Every structure is written in C-alpha cells, then in structure tokens.
Structure 1
C-alpha cells in the first residue's frame, strides 16, 4: 500500500510480533509454511508479501505466486506451476512429476508459493500443495479469511504441524495511532483518531481509503503541528461504498428490509427486528457478520456490524421507501408504549425524519433526554422544529445552552436574551441570566459583558436565594478571569453537594453549584492553597457525578476534573494528574464532550511542561489550539498558544515559537493563570540567546501574576527567571511564596532557586532527587547539572561526575529540550570559567548576534561587549563564533557576523 503522498509505504505497525515470530519459525527446518488468518481488510496480503520477502532473504531461487481461484476449476490456480504435458489423471505420478520439475535436475531448487485466499482453492490444488510441502520442494505462505468455510483438505493444510498459523486482528486504537503517525508524518489529534477508529473499526483497507478521502476532500488538515479533522466524520470514499455495496447486494428479501431498518433506526429492539424478518433471518445476518446483537439490561437490540454499512444502505434508499420504513417503525415503538426514557427521543427523531414535524410536547421531552445525554446536536435539531406558539423561556434556554456547547455562542446569546424577555417570574429571569452569563463567559470569553449582565441582575433581584445564586455565579467567573482572591471569598460557602431539588431535570441551583464548585478548585489553586484545592476538587467531582446519576447535572462531571488536574500538577502530584487527565480525555472523546475536553487538553500540556516533557507538552498544546480553532472556542486559545510557543522555543524551533507568539497576541484575554502567557515570549528570547531580555519579560509577567493574586503562576514565572541566570533578584519573593503556597512542589522549587542563588551543590543535588521523585524531570536535570558544575568548581570530581550522570538520566526524560542550565552542563570545561555576564554575551554571540545588537539588548556599549568577547575568546582559545557555539554546546550560528 502507498501512503497519501503517493510515495510513503503504509507501515506494518502492530505486526512486528507476527514478523518476529515468522522469522524465528522460518529458521526452524521443521517449518514448511505459514498461514495468516484474519478478517477482510486487516492487511493479510500486505503482510504476506512482507513475509514472502523475508522468506526469500537470498536463500531461495525464485518465487511463484498463485492467486485465489474458483473451486470449480481444478488446479486452475496452480496451472503455472505444472510442467508442460503433465499427465494428472494419475495424481500420484502426476504430483511426483510436478515436484521433480520444480526441484530441477539437481533436486536443489526451492520455491516460495504465495496463495492469497487459500480457502478459495479447489480440493485438487490444495492436495497438490500439501504434496509439494511434504516433498520439501516449496515453502508456502497463504492467507485465509476468518469465518469463511473451507474443505477438509484446506483445513489439513492450514492446521498442519509443519505450518505456522498467525491470527491477525484489526488495528487497535494504539496501533492505528502509530500507523497514521507514520503515514502522515506527524501526530493526529484524539478526536480525529476516534473518528477514524469509529468508522474503520481498525480495518486496514477501510482506514486507508478513509484517510485518502479525507485528504482529498480537505477535511483532514495539518496546521504545521498536528493533523485534525474539520468534520465529525471523514467522508466515505466511492471505492469503499462500491465494495460494501457489492457485499450487501446478495442480501435480499426480509434480510434486506432488516438492513434498511437498521440503517435508519439502529439500534432496534430484537422483537421489532424479528417482526420485520423472522428469527431465522436475524440469525443468518448475525452469522454472516452483517449485524450484531447487544444486551442492554433486560432489552436486547440489533445494530449493523459496521457504521459504513448504514451509510451505504441509506444512500441507496429512495425517499418513499425511507418514509415507509420510518412510519412503520414508529407504529411498532408506539405499540409497546414508548416506556423507556430514550423512546421519547427516538420517536421524536423518527417523526422529524419521516414527516418533518412532531408533537411539540414530544419534541420537548425528547430534547430533555438529549440534554441529559449531552447530545447537543439532537437537542438543537428537536427544539429548532418547535412551533413558535410552543416556545417558552425554558425551551429557549435549553436550545441556547445546546448552541453554547456547539460553540455557536452568538446564536445562543440571542436565544438566551429571548428567554429572559419571555420570563414570567423573577426566578425564571434569574435562571435566564445564569445561563446567559455562562455562555458569554465560558464559551465566548466576553468577561466584562458577562459580569455586567450578572451585576445588573444582582441590583434588581430581591429574593435571598436568587441573590446567593448570582453571587456564586459571579465568584466562579472572577475565579477564572484573573481575580482568584475575590473568587475564593465569594465561593467560600459552597456546599460539598448541590442543594438540588429531587426532580428529574437540571435546576438553576445545580447549574450554579457546578460552576461554583470548579471555580473554587481553580481559585484555591491560583492563590497557592493547592492541597486544599485538590481535596475540594475530588469532593466536587464526586458530588457532580451524583448529580449526573440523578439526571440533574447541567454540565458533564468531567468539567470538575479540569481545575483538579491543574491543581494536582501544582501540588506536585504529576503522575496522578497525568492518569486523571488521560482517563478523562479518553471518556470525553468517546462521549463527544467537546469544550471541556479542549480545556483538559490545554491543562495536559501545562502538566507536561511542569514535568519537563516539553515535546509532549507541545503536542498537547497543538491539539488544544487545533480543536479550539475548529470549534471556534475562544477562551483557551491564548493559554494554548502561549504553551505551544514556549514549548517550541525550548525545543529549538524558533520559527514555530515566533508564529505562536504572534497568534496569542490576537487572542482574547481570559485572565486565568495570569502572567503565564509571558512564557512564550521569554523562552523565545532565551532561544535567541537574549537571556537578560527574557528575564525582564518573566519579571514583568510575574508582577502581573502578583498583582492579580495568581501565586502559583508567579512561582512558576520566578522559577524560570532563576533558570535563566537571574538568581538574586527573585530569591526574596520566592521565599515569601514558599510561605504563602503549600505543597511539596512549591517547597522543592523554592529550594532549587535558593540552591542556585548561593551556588550550593549539595543542596542542589538533594533537591534534584526530590524533583525527580515528584516527576519534574527537567528541573531535576537542571538542578543536577548545576550541582555538577558546583562540585567541579570546588575540585570534587567524583561528586561532579555522579551529579552529571544524574543530570544525563533526568535529561533523557526530556527529549530535545534546550535550556541555559543544560547548555552549561554540555559546554566545554573551559567555558565554565566564564563569568555570568561573559556567558550571556557569549551565548548571544554564538547565536550570530552582532556586537551592536548585543549592546542594545544588554544596555551596554559596543566597546564593553567587544571587551567581554575578547576575554571569552582568550579564556577559551577560540577565534570564531562557530567555535564558540560548539564550546557552549549550542547550535552553530547561521552566519559569522562581519563585526565580531
């Protein structure tokens, strides 16, 4: 198979174990063949060709390939193996003659025979192959489609002791990720992977065609960082539609009617499907692999075995036939009373599909079911069909909420404003305000507008319960918009559980409690109370899940995990944060939870940044950017672009970092984690060797964080000032933050900064191991590297060597990362004799910066810069900047400036 670019071969990822087993077996003289079993489309032929190539390996004279043949043509598939004039009327003599001819006059020729679809061979051909195998004339490689019937002769051949049997399965999700990464030349975001897996079910042939079709249609796109699908599902290519149509063409009569019904209405109750075709027909469809039976509690349902079957069948249905099938199925569902909760949604969807309309009460009931399942597209479709005469404040809010979750915030705001105008009581107006501010703030990043709407309502409402809801709502917005201390104060009295009435629908109380609960987790973490934030976050998530189980949650419980992962990372529980994030992301992708998933992806990037796996951080930030842009979700974009830029800079990709910095400047300011957006510009400057300017940017960003009360962000930023050589200026403030913020990660970073400031190698070595134990491997590597330099400068060579080995081990967990502290450890021993200012000037010079530009960057005179450079060159015994870069362990400059 060829890749999408026409030149890259699709890799056999996931088949390495089979190849290794084959290699071992082929060396065994007792093994005379290999048979690959697997469903259609799993790549058996491609793997067989690879086996064939390995089998030859220069040891065999030639290859003859026999294609699949009809059982009605005896020996037809092997005709090219038979010598001219061979008389096969006597099989014993004839087969011996074939063997002698293949072996040659000296009886030393051996052949590899590849048989695709062995189960299609006639009995005579199979018996001849068995004879040739036993005679040692050939080695056989064959493929068999799992589930296909074949005779005793084929069974004996495939199952013989001298034949290696290999059972192949479709790709699992991890293997498919590796395949696509190899073919496309870069990572694919999780939602695209989920879509390709859902539509291919790991079938290699289907996957290949779906990827080609998506590339040709322009729906699978690359933004320079990651591949993303711009639609929920890839387009179905004509070649697959034709292949599936050919397979389904043989299904007629009642069986065909079942397939058509399932294509329109699946899953269908077993009793309803049986009423269309009869039990025997259903059993036949199941045995042929076209349908599947599922058990859901006490209800048994039938669905198509592959989603593409439904696409193909629906496309071939004429409209009258479609309408008739839908109406008849509606009658069947109504006949047994529509007792299940999901029946209302199904009936409403069926009515709309069949007639374009439905009973208004049924539409509203169905929309409530869809909202409970977070199926916002269905909610919008159902309520958009509601007649104007039946629109109320609550239906407008429900529809607006669905549009908010579909990232259509402007349409949502219009509906929510309409809901406010339709409100018949103060409670309804407050409910409308709460939902509207949620849309303006959380979906549209219109912070001031959302706070203004909430404040106007606070001034007009008199009911104490409503006032409390509005205050909690304001606290949640302040917590996430750059005023965490005020948020903590307003959210101090949030209960452990929502005081929701015991009814079957989400309420204003539960909805406000949800945002207040995750707002409190975020605010506590931002002000440095990280251990309290973690404890509260777990309790809030458990309470939110209880709400969801009662059908009262307005949002998915996964939303509580976003600030919790943020807090776990700052608490130093990096492994638990990663595990929590991984599980939540997998479930959110599976369940189609989009907007909270984008935030989680962004926070996963920050987690990996703190851990030091900057390459992984870049990948997660890139996915957050791609998903936010695809879904027009503005709030996380600034943080995601900042993380992407900082990660690219630390990996030495200056162009990508520059592009990210330019993008983040055009994004709306959310205010959360204030100051951290400065990381991108600072590390970009550091990558260019302009450390003094980078420290200035970080110090300014840290002041922003301090002014807004973001203590954990300030701690992160000042730690990076220290990492870039500014060891004296932030030391006092870091000590203050160590007292104001809790958690082992805070204490370790403060000790790291203190150790650098006083150049204490013993303290640095100790904190290096502590940071590694927390999972912060990059800081651990830098601390060990600085310890090695300190021990070396004091003549403790053994301790220096041990610390350097630790630094190398920790650095290996952070592939591709370049930081000033690590660059110092990689530099030549003589370079460690440079003063801090000489080292800073040298790094700029090594990057190709002219003396004039260095002088401007460091606020020095050109003469002073040249004097520093002369000292550097004298100490190191160098004459060019290219040599200087090598001595500092940095990439060579693009050119040698004329003015050194």
Structure 2
C-alpha cells in the first residue's frame, strides 16, 4: 500500500511547467523585479513557488522566505523581521530602508539579487510592502510571491508590489480532466481507469490539494487499488482524509447561520433555482455566499440556479447535518416542488429521492417512474435504490423486469438472473414473455457468459408460450443476436437473412433494430466491412427517427455507435472508428460496470491494436478486464487475450504471461481464433518465432473453417510479418480482398504480395496506404523492410529515406518492437534462421534448448551463432542481448 510520505514525494508539478519556464526567463532578466502567483486556495501556489525558489538557488541567488499572516500584519515588518539585519535602526523609514538595501545588496552580476519568497502577499502589512517595493526598485531584491484569488484588489500590499512592467503575474487554475489523468498516472506509476479519473476529477474539482488528499485517503482505505495493470475504484465513495475534512470545514465556517442553512439545502438538493432559495433566504445572504466562493450561480436552460462551489462541500455538509435537520430540509423541498407542479422531467427523481430519504418509503408508482428515468440517464445505483424500496408484494411484472434489467446494467449479473428467471416465469401474455426473454438472454450471454446451449434452452422454453408470427420472429432475432455473441457469425447472418432493407417496411421497429445491429456485427466479422457499415448507419438513422426508446437495450445510442465503430475499423477507417467510439463512451456517463461501456472499450482497444498502438490498447483492455471481474462473460477472455498481445508487443513478457494465464484459467463458453494473437506475440517477445508462426497458422486455419474471414485476414497478415509462408498467405489474402472488398483487406493483400516478392517499391506503396488507413505499425514495418531491401540493393539514398519514414511512423507506435521493425538495423544482415536463433540466444536460452526448440542439432545452432557474431561484430551473448532486445 502506498504511504502518505511516498505519495507526497511522488506528487509532481504536472501542468505547471509553463509557469516554471516563465519564472526561469524572468529571473534571468535584470529588468524584472518580481513574479507573483495568483490562484484560489489549494491550486499549488506555494508548491510551485518552492520549486521556483529551487531554480533561484541553482542559478546562484541568495534566498529568503517569509509567510504573511493576519496576525503578523498587525505588527509593522512582522513578516520580514527575521530577514532584516539586527543592527539596522528602522524608526526612521527613509534612512533605515536605505541601510537595509545597502546591507542586503552585494556587488556583482544579476545573481547578487536576493530572491525573497513571500507566501500570501495579500496579508502583508503596509510597512513590509513599502520596504519590499524599495528593495525591488533598487535592484536589491527580487520578489517571488503567492496571492490568493479573491478580494486582492483591496490589499494594499498587492497594489504596491504588483504594479509596473517589472513584475510578472501568473494565474493558476484548477487542473482540467486531462491534467488530472496525467498527474495520477505519473504519481501512481500505472494507467488509471476512466471511472477513477472521473471520480477524482469531479470530486476534487481539479483542486490539486483536494485531489492529493482524496488519492491518499482512497489508497489508504483500499478504495483505489491496482491489479498490476490499472488503478481503479472499487466503490463509488471516496473517503478523503482528516486533513481534507478540516480544510473544508474551515472553508465553510465563514458562512453566516442563515447562509449555513442555504448550504445545507443545496447539499441535499442541488441545483436549485434562485426563486426556490429566495423563499427561505434573502438576496443579501445569497450574494454573500457567492462572494465568499461557497456557491456558484449560473444560467441553466430557462432558470437561474445555484449549486455548491465545490463537490466536496456537499460531502462535509451532509456528514455534519443532524438527522432531524436533514428530514426537515427534504420535507420542505418536497412541499415546494409539489407546489410548483413538478413539471420538469427530473422532478420525479427528485421527489422520489427526497421522500425516500426523509421517510424511508414512497409511492411505488413514483418510485418506478423515477427509476426508469434514472436508468435512462445511466444512474444505475440510484435506480436500484428506488426499485429495491418497493415492497416485494407490490412488485408487478414490469417492476421486476425493470429491476432485472437495472441489475444487469449495474453489473449484478447473478442477481439479475435470479430476478429475471422469476420475471420470465410470471410472464402472462406473449408481450411479457418476449420482454423477459430478451433481457434475460442478454444477461446470460454478456453478463454471466453462460453456455450457448443454456441460452437456447431459455429461447426454446419461450417458444411454447408464443403463438403469433411476430412472436416467433422476435425469438428468431433473439437467437441470431445470441449466436453472434458466441462467434456463430454465419448462423447469425443466416437467421437474419430475410431482414427488410427499409425499417419502414418492418412490423416492429425495435425487432428490426435488433436484427439490423446483429447483421452489422456478423458482416463485420465475416470480412464484409462495407456492408457492415451500411447496416450500422441504417440502424442509427432508424433509431433516431423512431424516437427515444430507453427500455430496449439494442437501441441505446452507445450500442449502435459501438457497432458502427467496429464496422469502420473493419472497413479500414481506424481514426474515424476511434472518434465514434470515444464519443459514444463519453455519452455513457461515469459508470464502472456498464456492459456497453466494456464493449466500447474492447472495440477501442482492438482498434488500437490494429492501428499498432499497444500502449493505448493495453489501457483499454486493462480497463475492460478490471471492470469484468469476477464474471467470465464473453468480453473478459477476449480482453485478456488482447491485453497479453499488447503487453507482449511492448516487450513486457511478465504482464503478457499473467494475462494469458488468467485467460486460460477461465471457464470460457466461447472461443474466437483472433484470441490466439496474444499467445503468438508472447512467443515473439520470447524470441520463439517458430512457435509463434505455428500458433498463427493453426488459428488462421481455424478461422477459415469457421468462415470468420476478418480473423483469418488478421492472423495471416501477422504470419507474413513474422516470416511465415508469405506466398501462400498473400494468395489467400488476395482471395479475401477480391471476395469481400474493402481497402483494409486490399491493403493487407498488397502488403503480403510485396513482402513475398521482396519488392521495396510495393512495400513503400503499401506503407503509404496503411498509414492513410491508420495502421501505423504495419506501415512502419513495411517501410522498414523496404529500407533493408534497398540497402541490400545498394540504393543507399532511397534506403535512408525509407528508414527515416519508418522511424517517423514508428514514433507513433508506443514502444512496439517487432522483428520487422528491426529490419532496417543490424538484423538486415541476418538470414531468417540466424535472426531466430539470435533472438533466442539473446533471451538467455542455451544452445541445447534452442536446438530442441527448433528441432535442429546443437552444432547447427552454434554455427549459426558464430556467423551472427561475425556479421554483427559481437563476441558474447550479453552483447547480443544489448543489441537485439528492448
């Protein structure tokens, strides 16, 4: 566990680099006399000032420190007394100040100036400010000061010391979300999950001091933990620290008694309109709270609303509020809300939440309505709290169905199955049967990872209770959706073969949407990316035209955008696919376990791998894995395999082995040939290229037999990259491109053909196409191989150009290291066999073991190694490892 001291030591100045650079430049300029840092409490002014002081020391300046306080301000020169010569008489300011200036100054260059750090300049007494100003103007002292934002215009010291061209001002703001993420990853040393980043950023408001205390409290309480790959929150509540609580209580203590009552109300019910607040508080009180920085007033749609100025204020206010006071506030707000008519959509949620919190119960109809609205906004914990407050006896079929669906969305998959099984059993008419089966099968597959046979049993059991053609078709579409989830893409597509091209011709738009999205996914994995994109866009347009349908999972915008991102990826539009996926992800809100979120993250991770960005892919897959445990649903084994491949590409063998071990230990209900990429690239990282090629060959054959053309194309391309039978692979990739179309398939085929023919011009053309597609690693490898071939042909100028291009593209590949990338370096001189033996030897494998691995004699291994040493000018395996390994 990370301790307070270790966290303090590692807390860096992320985002403050521009101010440090400004200070360094100002300090070098003899015309400059001061540098003032402005900002609210907790943004790191003092921390940055201390760093600036270290720069001054390094530059040879003498330094002094002073802290201005309200108490010291009552005594002239109270803050600076310890810096002044003891024998200087200051009763006469003019002569005394001149004497201080003479004693503090030294002859010499600009470094003779004394740099004086004053914390909280706005609290400095007038006499101290006057003395500092004279020392600054005389060139004797350089002021480095911090100023708290607020009523600084009323400070005599700030007015006296901050004017003039010689003093530079820098304003520090709270961190934005990206700065918070960067800071957390530097401090914690690993990737940080988006949920954790969002929680910490939202709760801290970007305030560095609050953020530090929140991280410290979360780590010490075991709420923020790392699984070896990624830091993530285990619960949604951040504990904070005693220091943080004391800081905020001190900040809130400036409110008047009436103001404190307003703060209590906002802590339970924010945001509230000013009209509502003015029923219990006068305008002067509200203005005072706003002026003190405790509330923020802003225009929200058609009303002017107030909320607390910082999320943590509400945490402390609620914790300090007596139960009777809490109940009174909530009952009062319920009364006012009902009196106003509760016309806004979210008012139902507010009413239900207030009543439940105040009395422990509420009208079931109101609870259901509020829960439905909360689920639509992805507020699943709130929705669950509302639904579970309804007594068992009053839970109708619709209530149980909504509860089961919400449990599924919240990641409580076994509880969801228990509720949905009961709901399925109590279904009365055909419509209820279909509604229950749809959600239940989705939870069984994507939540529990149940065997396909069990899912089919549930569907078959529903068929005996169905009599209409519409009902049978709905179950047929449900079967197709279940089939693609377990890799039965051909069967899934066949089941949806009679789907109407125009949704307007369909008897039910929701069933059409489910079938269309299923068809799009199946087409994507069968290698028909252009058709998949077309169907995904039709589904998005049809969903938008049909209006908002929150209770049908297939029509969620994020689900549709996820499928479009998949189709765009397979169609060779990687950058667009990433943009679509990111936008959909942001629309899901901040929930840790949402199934659609995990699927989106998986598609983004997979797209990053195809782009050759293993760092990004690793972060995405790690977040999927962390959010999926302990469940063994479909996405977990795929994400673990992807994580292994990404880690292996970066040379992290230990992480790749751990991910594959966990994946192989899962009781998986399905398997996709693409998952073997992780195993293959782990062999590559170990230097065992023969084993890697064997894995890829078997997986590609498996994909071919299953008709999973997309997987086959990816596996064959990697086989070509690793020196497999390139002519055969190129021929098959050309067949795929001719049959399926799509520029990604064509680019892969052209790459393989150029590689098989040792054609540098073809490889450079392929590199250009692949870079346009966004497949950076493939493009870098193609250019690198072309550089090696041109060098062998004696075309050194063209070889250098190709190598420079490869290096530029490789810079975007996040530390990926592959055999093909090494082609433009020393390995160009080695044969394929020499290369493989050299890698194994570099990994520390003895000649005897290498011989057994490659099924050759020990003598042959040693002969190859002697030629490798001669070609590379090396003599030992240690030198070989230094040359070949990352």
| TM-score relative to the length of structure 2 | 0.93
Counterpart for residue 118 of structure 2: 115
CA distance in 1, matches of 2:409, 2:871: 62
Counterpart for residue 897 of structure 1: none
Counterpart for residue 370 of structure 2: 366
1:604 aligns with 2:604: yes
Counterpart for residue 560 of structure 1: 560
Of the three residues 74, 79, 82, the one matched with 1:80 is 82
Counterpart for residue 37 of structure 2: 36
- Residues 792-827 of structure 1 deviation map (CA, whole Å, 9 limit, x = unaligned): 444444433333333223222224222222234322
State how 1:334-733 maps to structure 2 within 5 Å: 334-448=338-452, 449-494=454-499, 512-545=511-544, 549=548, 554=553, 556-590=556-590, 594-629=594-629, 632=631, 634-669=633-668, 671=670, 674-726=672-724, 727-733=726-732
Q: CA deviation at 1:492?
A: 4.1
State how 1:298-309 maps to structure 2 within 5 Å: 298-309=302-313
Q: CA deviation at 1:35?
A: 1.1
Q: CA deviation at 1:719?
A: 0.8
Change (3 A) 1:786 1:772: same
Aligned length: 879
Q: CA deviation at 1:657?
A: 1.4
- Residues 91-117 of structure 1 deviation map (CA, whole Å, 9 limit, x = unaligned): 333433333343379999632221111
Counterpart for residue 825 of structure 1: 824
Change (3 A) 1:89 1:804: closer
CA distance in 1, matches of 2:686, 2:124: 67
CA distance in 1, matches of 2:648, 2:618: 10
CA distance in 1, matches of 2:490, 2:5: 52
Q: CA deviation at 1:168?
A: 1.0
In structure 2, stretches of 5+ residues that fail to align are none
Q: CA deviation at 1:500?
A: 13
Change (3 A) 1:104 1:643: closer
CA distance in 2, matches of 1:105, 1:223: 59
Q: CA deviation at 1:496?
A: 7.2
Q: CA deviation at 1:40?
A: 0.6
CA distance in 2, matches of 1:618, 1:592: 18
Q: CA deviation at 1:165?
A: 0.9
CA distance in 2, matches of 1:547, 1:229: 37
Q: CA deviation at 1:882?
A: 4.2
CA distance in 2, matches of 1:794, 1:107: 61
CA distance in 2, matches of 1:741, 1:277: 69
Q: CA deviation at 1:705?
A: 1.7
CA distance in 2, matches of 1:514, 1:718: 34
CA distance in 2, matches of 1:497, 1:45: 64
Q: CA deviation at 1:870?
A: 6.3
Change (3 A) 1:499 1:315: farther
Counterpart for residue 739 of structure 2: 740
1:143 aligns with 2:146: yes
Q: CA deviation at 1:514?
A: 4.8
Indicate if the aligned counterparts of 1:100 and 1:107 stay in contact, CA closer than 8 A. Answer: no
Counterpart for residue 890 of structure 1: 884
CA distance in 2, matches of 1:158, 1:866: 75
Give secondary structure in 2 for the equivalent of 1:63. strand
CA distance in 2, matches of 1:236, 1:387: 35
CA distance in 2, matches of 1:318, 1:182: 40
Counterpart for residue 769 of structure 1: 768
- Residues 621-679 of structure 1 deviation map (CA, whole Å, 9 limit, x = unaligned): 2222222237x47331111111111122222221111111111112354647x211101
CA distance in 1, matches of 2:760, 2:84: 80
Indicate if the aligned counterparts of 1:36 and 1:44 stay in contact, CA closer than 8 A. Answer: yes
Change (3 A) 1:494 1:120: farther
CA distance in 2, matches of 1:296, 1:643: 43
1:241 aligns with 2:221: no
Q: Which moved more, 1:99-108 or 1:608-617?
A: 99-108
CA distance in 1, matches of 2:597, 2:707: 27
Change (3 A) 1:790 1:64: closer
1:92 aligns with 2:89: no
CA distance in 1, matches of 2:290, 2:711: 58
Q: Which moved more, 1:638-647 or 1:415-424?
A: 415-424
CA distance in 2, matches of 1:596, 1:131: 65
Q: CA deviation at 1:160?
A: 2.7
Give secondary structure in 2 for the equivalent of 1:293. strand
Change (3 A) 1:722 1:828: closer
Counterpart for residue 898 of structure 1: none
Indicate if the aligned counterparts of 1:589 and 1:597 stay in contact, CA closer than 8 A. Answer: no
Of the three residues 843, 854, 879, the one matched with 1:858 is 854
Indicate if the aligned counterparts of 2:734 and 2:746 stay in contact, CA closer than 8 A. Answer: no
1:8 aligns with 2:9: yes
- Residues 216-237 of structure 1 deviation map (CA, whole Å, 9 limit, x = unaligned): 1112212222222212242121
CA distance in 2, matches of 1:306, 1:238: 18
Q: CA deviation at 1:42?
A: 0.5
Counterpart for residue 283 of structure 1: 287
Indicate if the aligned counterparts of 2:63 and 2:116 stay in contact, CA closer than 8 A. Answer: no
Q: Which moved more, 1:868-877 or 1:781-790?
A: 868-877
Change (3 A) 1:327 1:739: same
Change (3 A) 1:106 1:175: closer
- Residues 128-186 of structure 1 deviation map (CA, whole Å, 9 limit, x = unaligned): 22222223221111111111343345323223332111111111112222222222222
- Residues 257-298 of structure 1 deviation map (CA, whole Å, 9 limit, x = unaligned): 111111112222322211121222112111211112243322
Give secondary structure in 1 for the equivalent of 2:674. coil
Change (3 A) 1:126 1:516: farther
| TM-score relative to the length of structure 1 | 0.92
CA distance in 1, matches of 2:593, 2:547: 14
CA distance in 2, matches of 1:114, 1:94: 22
Q: CA deviation at 1:208?
A: 0.8
